[in-house]
Chains A and B, each alone.
Chain A
Amino acid sequence: MLLSLWQNLRKYPALLLLVLVFGASCAVVAVNAYRAAGGAVGQGRKKVLRIAHWQLEQGIRDAIDRLIADYEKLHPDVEVRQILIPETGYFQWVNTQLIGRTAPDMIEVGSGGTVGWALWPKFYARYFLPLDRYVDEPNPYNRGTALEKVPWRKTYFDEMDGGYEETLQSYYRIPLSAFTERLYYNKDLVEKVWGPTFPKTYEDFLELCRKLAEYGRKNEKKLVPIAGSGYNFRQFFNAYRTAFTANYLDPLDVDMDGIVSRIESAAPIYSGRVKLTETPIRANFELVRELSEFFPQGYTSLSRDEAIFLFLQGSAAMITTGSWDYESMGVQSEFHLAVTEIPLPSKSNPRYGSYVAGPQTEAGIRGGFPVGITKMSRNAEVALDFMQYATSLKKNEEVNRAMYWLPVIKGAEPRDELKPFAPRTEGYSASIEYEGPGAEMAYAQISIEYLSGKLSYEEFVDQFMQAYRREVPAGIQDVLRNDEQTLNQEMRFAAIRRAALTGAPGATAVATGDSAAQYKRIMEAYVAQVGVRDSDIRDWTENARQAEQPARQSGR
């Protein structure tokens, strides 16, 4: 019968192909699912852990391999494997792995742009293990150190804030490293053109840029002083925006919470109470316009990779980027690399000096390279143990020194070369956000025209304010709608705590920890958010009324 069946099937090759392909797909899926469950392929009967991330640079992989080797020596029954996925497809890969329930035990989280930013909280909630019950216990791998009795989260320089998910009010991430941004420069070239000491002030920095441009022209080299791109330029702009707008905190911070919210920033610009033609703001833009003469032409259309390429090829003398690029740039450059701060105008600068408050603070930075543990992991406790090992004082220092990154654990020392990247706590935060809710695209388009010299400052302000007045009211409503969602989220958590407090079966099992204390926390956070919302709306409404009055008076 089988033979006659085979003979019949041979007459229908397409059907045969369909069946074979389907069979092969099932086999592949079955093998993948088996591997994902930690079975087979590992040596002997070891527990297999998989950790996925997008840090493809050689140094990172090697450092994590050494960490894994040390852990496996301590735990011979465990095997840990790295899975490396390129950043561009990472979010989509994670998405499909999580939905398909074949995700690795540990996953680097947080990529995916604005779509990812909105979806990661849902991923955490559905697929990742909340870590609250572990973070308040000491890290067992800190035994014998000064952090022996310190709760795990308090061993972090940021008290594990980088691992806390606000929308879910739980810890879901385990940060491994910290990052800051600085100005990198070609030490050999700068010393040749300028001298051994890098300029400390903006005035000297500008002079250096002129000398570099002249050097390029004289030697018929393609040389731009600063490797700008849409991405790198933002770091310069933010540094100067902070310096010039820091002193706007008191006039704009209506609710006196120390932060100028998006609406507190937008409302006075909308009404004209704060004009973009005011001297400090104008000075901010004019300084950046002046500096962008030393960027490549049309730099905003260049990508980050193109800017790095220019710098490493020696076609640019300086670039701003983060500590994450230090090692790979060091390996790829044929010159000596050095790092410094972005120079600010000195107080004696006649044009800018009186408006500059100071540098940007990095006191609020949070741990990065965050890793989450998936709920579908069959060895979640082992994965947690591995992560505690990686974030112990000794091992976190070791692995970050190997990766040329900054450690996240208090007392862990970075490499000497990375000391310039140590977070700067003495500084300010920016008090004005020029974009305005809803006007981001208009700002991106029109500001480029000004910075490239196509528009005068007055033309830029005029065109931008037209777009601002048109777009921002609807943008404000969108911001407030998003705030409502956050408030709703708080109420969801409050409801579950109330249910637990009233003894509802099931709720008590899910709402771990002290429900009364958590309920108090949630209501405090809720009330604070309501306060910000109400204050923002009042501020906006008063400013909007002010904006309408001249229009009404002129009969428009």
Chain B
Amino acid sequence: MPAAERLAAPLPRSPGKERPLRFAGLGLLVIVAAAILAPGCGSKRTSSTLDPLLAQGWQAYSTGDFDFAAECFRGVQTTQRATADQTYSAILGLATVYHLQSNPDFGKAREYYALLAGLNTENARKQSALGLARVDVAEGKDADGRSKLAAVMRDYPDSTEADEAVVHLAESLFAPRADEAKPGGFGIAGDASMERGLKLLEDRLSARPRNPLASAMHMMLANKYIELKRFDKALENLLAAEKDGIAVDRLRSVVVWRVARIAEQQLKDYALAERYYQRYVDDFGRTVLYYRALTSLERVRALMGKEGAQQGKAEPSKGT
């Protein structure tokens, strides 16, 4: 019989030979199935009750495990027995995951933010409005995004969401735009846009001077004024941020340094510069700028001494 025909023909049935081969094949099937399934047995188990499931979802979201987070949230969202709060948490979770994951899915984010609005609670409506606005901005739909952010400010004027909307709206007005066609090419925000953003922040701070984001808003204004080389306004906002209380130590050191530097180099207010360099030396001895602050303090004191001496010369002597 030719080789090809021998291969094509079924195996001869010889007693005792066929069964071990089938046994081997079956055994292998069992081993392979066990090897595939076993690792999955010890892996993430979702909880049967909803609050722990939501906690798992938020935990997974906070650690970057977005797929699992979405799975947990969907598990709650699709169940009939969820309470209104639980449904809110689940839908908010889904919207946030799709909005802020590494490769965002803005379409789904928009869908879930819109679903939030249908929940008819104040919190849900605020989160929905803010989320939809931010998704538009993230997608580059600036005009839509900005008008939606303005709507959040208008509809919920005394809320933290409105404070955050102000920050994002100002950011959008200030933001440069990358020119993807030209490597390293950017378009800087125009003067009108900058002025609008500055006014927006200042108006908000006038209306709500003690809002939770006041220090952040003051720092944002200071950043912009430094960029625009308007150092007097920058100083005003830096001092206001410090007065409001800056929670991040590192940023507090930056604010103190900036006040000292602007006072010394731009405004020639050596007394203020001396006070702030001294504060830097006292409070931030572990930073890389510590020694520069120390030498700057000496320099400013020398300048103050010189100034004082010159003023003494300029004024007519009272004795004559």
Contact = CB atoms under 8 A, between A and B. Distances in A.
The answer to A–B direct touch (Cβ < 8 A) is yes
B40 interface: no
B262 interface: yes
Nearest to A122: B64
A524 B247 contact: yes
B219 interface: yes
A134 interface: no
Contacts of A157: 286
A239 to B, nearest CB: 15
Nearest to A480: B178
A160 to B, nearest CB: 12
Interface of A is mostly: helix
Interface string A515-545: 0110111011111101100110110110010
B96 interface: yes
A506 B57 contact: yes
Contact of A12 (B20, B160, B286): B20
B186 A520 contact: no
A73 interface: no
Contacts of A498: 127, 160-161, 164
Contact of A257 (B28, B85, B248, B258): B258
A507 B58 contact: yes
Interface in A258-291: 258-259
A510 interface: yes
A524 B246 contact: yes
Contacts of B262: 256
A491 B223 contact: no
Interface residues of B, number: 82
A118 interface: no
By secondary structure, the B interface counts as helix
Interface in A474-530: 474, 476-477, 480, 485, 488, 491-496, 498-499, 501-507, 509-511, 516-517, 519-521, 523-528, 530
A364 B285 CA distance: 9
A441 interface: no
B100 A492 contact: yes
A506 to B, nearest CB: 3
Interface in A151-191: 157-159
A81 interface: no
Contacts of A502: 92, 123, 126-127
B319 interface: no
A425 B290 contact: yes
By CB atoms of chain B within 10 A, which of A15, A491, A528 has the most?
A528
Contacts, number: 222
Contacts of A534: 174-176, 223-224, 227
Nearest to B25: A15
Contacts of A256: 226, 257-258, 261-262
Interface residues of A, number: 77
Interface stretch (B1-9, B146-154, B210-218, B307-315): B210-218
B135 to A, nearest CB: 12
Interface in B40-57: 42, 50-57
B287 interface: yes
Contact of A504 (B27, B89, B257, B286): B89
Contact of A361 (B96, B212, B290): B290
B31 interface: yes
B219 A528 contact: yes
B105 interface: no
A454 B172 CA distance: 50
Contacts of A8: 16, 19-20, 23
B305 to A, nearest CB: 22
B220 A527 contact: yes
B254 interface: yes
B167 A527 contact: yes
Given A492-B62, A496-B58, A519-B212, A364 B286 contact: yes
Q: Which residue of A426, A480, A485, A531 has the most chain B CB atoms within 10 A of its CB atom? A: A531
B219 A503 contact: no
B278 interface: no
B188 interface: yes
Interface in B5-24: 16, 19-20, 23-24
A256 B292 CA distance: 13
B265 interface: yes
B33 interface: no
A540 to B, nearest CB: 7
Interface string B266-282: 00000000000000000
Contacts of B286: 157-159, 363-364, 425
B41 to A, nearest CB: 12
Contacts of A538: 176, 188, 227
B254 A520 contact: no
Given A505-B85, A506-B93, A523-B213, A126 B175 contact: no
B123 A249 contact: no
10 contacts: A12-B24, A101-B42, A126-B65, A257-B254, A493-B62, A496-B61, A499-B127, A506-B89, A525-B251, A535-B223
Given A101-B42, A523-B212, A535-B223, 19 more contacts: A126-B63, A249-B292, A256-B257, A256-B261, A257-B258, A258-B257, A363-B287, A427-B291, A428-B292, A473-B184, A473-B185, A477-B183, A503-B123, A505-B54, A505-B85, A527-B223, A531-B219, A531-B223, A541-B176
The list of the 9 closest CB pairs from A to B, nearest first, reads A506-B54, A473-B184, A531-B223, A125-B63, A504-B89, A502-B123, A473-B183, A510-B58, A474-B183
